[in-house]
Amino acid sequence: MNYKDIWKSVFCVLVESLPKHAMDAWFEPMKAIGVTDGEVLLEVPNQFFCEWIDSHYKKELVTAIRSADDTLTGYRFSIGAVSKEFEESGLVQKQTKVPQVHQNNLNRQYSFENFIEGSNNEFAKNAARSVAEHPGENNFNPLIIYGGVGLGKTHLMHATGNAAIIKNPNLKVVVVTSEKFTLDFVNSLRKNKTIEFAQQYRSADILLIDDIQFFRGKEQTQEQFFHTFNVLHQAGKQIVMTADKYPGEMKGLQTRLLSRFQSGLSVDVQPPNFEVRVAILLEKAEQNGVSLDYDVIEFVARHIKNNIRDLEGAIIRILAKSSLLNKEIDHALVRDVIRERIGGQLKTDITIEEIVKKVSEYSTVSEKDIVGKSRKMEIAEARQVSMFLCREIMGTSLSGIGLFFGGRDHTTVMHAIKSIGKKFESSNNIKKSVTTLRKELTQSL
């Protein structure tokens, strides 16, 4: 069998032995791209996938591979693009690769194409793209991208370097954090290699420095960077930096250094608005192979507002909790994750009364009947939906729900919740009703 047929066989075996949520989250995004040295080569989106598969599903995956072809011993991963050794072997599908002449620390996953643009960062992205197209040739030198933690400053900086190299592979791009620059300088003093240090940085065509605010209070480092800056700037080389605030507001940096910083262009990135947060979550969910309902995405976006890193962390946490607890990714699981990430409380003033009122409006069953004793089918169903939503959205205890709905026993409430849960999977009408009500109730959260 060729590798495609082997993987189809492996997948069929895994479907029989693993829960659906595990297959959807971890194995659907994976694809076989070759066989070498008795192992199936599997392409996955990121390193997190590799570690998770190895720690949670290695035994099942190896067993499935051996059952498909007893000459195979296991698997190995390729992240994103196929490595050169496999490509040259002719055992895998050939893929386009970005030429790289100079070694650098650019993160290849950061590009302008996968940077979610919104009103909060549009100007910064356009400025960075302009610099990548014409490094050192315009007035945007230096380019300083500033803003709070986790808003995409580093992404834009690396995207600038990546785009510049794609256009001109001969460019020497030096990427460094301010801490690494300081450490290199200290080591050069200790080993009497300050000339080599200067040459390393001053030979760059593009110098990218992350978090320049950490130069504060380091006088000798600032002195060295001042001279490096001058040499590069006078030679028409491009400098791009990130910072936590506008250069004019920085304390602890030399005046002449700040003056150099302000001679170029400073652009800010702000926290993403709701629409951008939704777009980011959809993108990150797709990258990590997670399938989430849109109302769940909206729920996360309404509660996590400060930065992109928190949004990414929420997706990873949802994915991890689903697999660790062997649970489907539903609204209840997502709500629990969000509660954990924002410190235990969801910002909501919603009440059981409001849920009952909303269900009453949707179903045309009166509020009095919903909390009453009638067992008519349409009334009982509206009551069960109300109980289900109270539990899912508010996390109200079973006894608390029962008390509100006419003093019913907690086992009755549990039955109602399970009943709606099953109907949600089997009845399109119930699924539509619950989804619509949930969305309307959580929009204000």
Domain spans of the chain?
3-89, 122-269, 274-341, 352-442
Pairing of strands 265-269, 143-147: parallel
- Supply 25's token pair: 């989250």
Q: Which of 147, 141, 179, 182 is nearest to 160 (CA)?
A: 141
CB 72 within 8 A of CB 40: yes
pLDDT tens-digit map of 166-202: 888 888 999 999 999 998 888 888 888 888 888 889 8
pTM score of the predicted model:
0.57
- Supply 200's token pair: 């390393």
Same topology between domain 3-89 and domain 274-341: no
pLDDT tens-digit map of 293-333: 777 787 788 778 777 888 888 888 888 888 778 877 777 78
Q: Which of 223, 217, 215, 221 is nearest to 243 (CA)?
A: 215
CA dihedral sign of residues 47, 50, 56, 57: positive
SS3 231: helix
Lookup result for tokens 């996953």: 109
Distance of CA 255 to the CA centre of its chain: 38
CATH superfamily of 3-89: DnaA, N-terminal domain (3.30.300.180)
Question: What's the confidence (pLDDT) of residue 16?
Answer: 87
Architecture of domain 122-269: 3-Layer(aba) Sandwich (3.40)
Q: Does 1.10.1750.10 match the CATH number of domain 352-442?
A: yes
**Which of 3.40.50.300, 3.40.50.720, 3.30.70.890, 1.10.8.60 would CATH assign to domain 274-341?**
1.10.8.60
H or E element at residue 259: helix 255-261
Return the C-alpha torsion angle 195, 201, 202, 205, nearest 10.
150
Question: What's the confidence (pLDDT) of residue 26?
Answer: 83
| Residues of the chain where predicted confidence (pLDDT) is lower than 70 | 80-104, 288, 290, 343-349, 443-445
SS3 115: coil
Q: Which of 134, 112, 138 is nearest to 124 (CA)?
A: 112
Question: What's the confidence (pLDDT) of residue 149?
Answer: 84
Exposure b/e, 23-34, CB count within 10 A at least 16 = b = ebbbbebbbbbb
Helix axes 308-324, 331-341, angle to 10 degrees: 130
Question: What's the confidence (pLDDT) of residue 191?
Answer: 84
Question: What's the confidence (pLDDT) of residue 443?
Answer: 61
Task: Write the CB contacts of 251 (distance below 8 Å, at least 6 apart in sequence).
Answer: 216
Question: What's the confidence (pLDDT) of residue 160?
Answer: 95
